[in-house]
Every structure is written in C-alpha cells, then in structure tokens.
Amino acid sequence: MWATCITNRAADLADHQRGRTWLEATTYHLTPGRGYLVLGMSVTETRLMIFALDDTEFPGFYPAGLFDIASQPTPARWMFAVRDGMRASGTDVWANPVQAVWGYPELVEDPSHYTRLVEGEAAARDVFQRRLAEANLP
C-alpha cells in the first residue's frame, strides 16, 4: 500500500488531525510529492495515522492528513485489532490513546512491538526489516 506526501508541515493539518501535543512549527521528515510504503495504520485519539519509514529511514506513525492515499486494496497479510483506547475516556485517553491498529502481524498482535522498534531493540528491528522486505516484493 502506498501514500503520497502532500505536506510535511503540522501547521497544514486540519484540526482533527492534530494531536494534543502537536506543535505548529513541526516539520516532519517527509518530502511532498514522494510516495511512501505504508506498513500499517492506526486510529490514535481522533487521528488516522500512517505507519511508514520517513526520509531518515526511521519508522513512525504520521498523521494521515500529510498524505494523499488513493483507493487501493489493503495488503493480504495485514491484520486488525481494537485497542484499549476504544473504551478510554477523560484522562484515560492519555494512557491509552490507540483505538485501533492494522498492519503486519507483529505490529497488531504485540502492543509493545512499535515501542521496542523505535527504541532500537534488535529483535523488533529484525521483524520490521523482514516485513519491509516482504512489502517491497512485487
């Protein structure tokens, strides 16, 4: 699945695409006009998020409002799960902001996979690299 970056500036996002900690001056490491391989998605708070590698080769979730996403089939191996954030309200949303996630199996089945990945854990990086290679296959 692919998404084309249309802006890399948080200030260009619609109100509903901004998280509670957003900074207007934020510029994401994304290049407008460039296509990005989507490896997963989530609904976090009220935002649809895209999981992709940025221009620094760092995997992260980015607001979907930064992208143009054409109608396309979801990858055959993707999974989907509802998270605790679906039932969270009030201050509980701070602790459990993720409502749903879909993507490669480890991203969905293991709620700690993403955190371990961005913290640089070798096993999580190995899984990610394997899934990235599979997604790039024709």
Which of 4-13, 21-30, 65-74, 122-131 has the weakest average pLDDT? 21-30
94: confidence class by pLDDT, cuts 50, 70, 90: very low
- Mean pLDDT score across all residues of the chain: 84
71: confidence class by pLDDT, cuts 50, 70, 90: very high
The tokens of 75 are what?
Answer: 């990858």
Residue 118's SS3 state is: helix
pLDDT in tens, 99-114: 788 999 998 998 888 8
| Rounded-to-integer distance, Cα 68 and Cα 66, Å | 7
pTM equals: 0.83
pLDDT in tens, 3-54: 999 999 988 887 777 766 666 778 899 999 999 999 999 888 778 889 999 9
CA 26 to chain centre: 17
| Rounded-to-integer distance, Cα 83 and Cα 14, Å | 24
DSSP state of 76: T
CA-CA-CA-CA torsion sign (125, 130, 133, 138): negative
Contact status, residue 53 vs residue 37, Cβ threshold 8 Å: yes
